[in-house]
Amino acid sequence: MNRRQFSLLLTLPLLARWPRPAHAAPDAAKANAPVVIELFTSQGCSSCPPADALMHEWAKQPGVIALSLHVDYWDYLGWRDTFGKRGHVERQQAYARHGGSRQVFTPQAMVDGQYPAIGSNREAVEAALQMARKDKHLQLSAAYDAAGRPQKLLIPGLKPWQGEATIWLCLYDKRHDVTVERGENRGKLLTYVNVARAWADLGRWSGEALSLDLTQRLGDYNWQEKGAVILVQASRGGPILGAIDLGRR
């Protein structure tokens, strides 16, 4: 049994105990807002390519925002992930702590920051999506200029809201083909979609209606090759309350 398998066995019994998000008030949120899949993956993980392949399907599914978050904790196996980020590891660890676990693994899919699944298990991810769709979500919207560039993010008010949420901007690349030269996936050509490349903290949301100017962040963004997602997420690894992909209108 390798380290990845051991971590997975330690983690799975804890997943069912993860707290479920509170339902938002019907007049402030909608059930048909998009849900978010974050796939924690690595080019150095031999069990990840099937999950990466499934991401092509999730990324095309209406009402789903799919993001590939590459981690770096398998780099020691011989291949340094070209998209790996320590921040993605910290994000995955925050989810684990929120769920009462100390273990992380790949490939892990996290749906709406709340419903975990093995990323290569189609049925498990679909079940997580179905659970997330039953929750109410903030209906985020954006205002665009005549050229189709997003100018403002609009977050509705939600009262009562107890707690604090972070407004995250995630910039991603739509597609990358990578030939792995060493490690567990040596010689494989792997294709990734919606690869998270950069994150920015846009501030806090505390339940009040809010409008944010996006022109400074996305003025000349290349929407042909790149995308941008905004998440409103309960702090410290909590559930994603609302999300919008600014390039999908």
Does residue 97 or residue 15 have the better pLDDT?
97
Highest mean pLDDT: which range of 144-148, 161-165, 238-242: 238-242
Dihedral sign of CA atoms 73, 45, 169, 64 in order? negative
Q: Which residues contact 89 (CB under 8 A, 6 or more apart)?
A: 71, 72, 73, 104
The tokens for 84 are: 């790996």
Distance between CA atoms of 30 and 28, rounded to whole angstroms?
7
Look at residue 95 and tell me whether its pLDDT is greater than 50: yes
pLDDT at 41 (0 to 100)? 98
Q: State pTM to two decimals.
A: 0.88
pLDDT at 42 (0 to 100)? 98
Full 3-state SS string of 66-107 = EEEEECCCCHHHCCCCCCCCHHHHHHHHHHHHHCCCCCCCCC
Cβ-contact 116, 108 below 8 angstroms: yes
pLDDT at 38 (0 to 100)? 98
The tokens for 218 are: 């996305």
- The pLDDT of 1-16, averaged and rounded, is 40
- The pLDDT of 76-100, averaged and rounded, is 96
Could you read off the pLDDT of 62-72 as tens digits, one per residue? 999 999 999 99
Please report the domains of the chain, with CATH numbers, ordered by start residue.
3-16+31-245 (3.40.30.10)
Look at residue 201 and tell me whether its pLDDT is greater than 60: yes
**Upper half-sphere CA count for residue 45 (Cβ side, 13 Å):** 25
Could you read off the pLDDT of 113-125 as tens digits, one per residue? 999 999 999 999 9
pLDDT at 102 (0 to 100)? 84
pLDDT at 216 (0 to 100)? 87
pLDDT bin (cut points 50, 70, 90) of residue 16 is very low
Look at residue 83 and tell me whether its pLDDT is greater than 60: yes
Cβ-contact 117, 111 below 8 angstroms: yes
Look at residue 213 and tell me whether its pLDDT is greater than 90: yes
Question: How high is the mean pLDDT of the chain?
Answer: 88
Look at residue 131 and tell me whether its pLDDT is greater than 70: yes
pLDDT bin (cut points 50, 70, 90) of residue 136 is confident
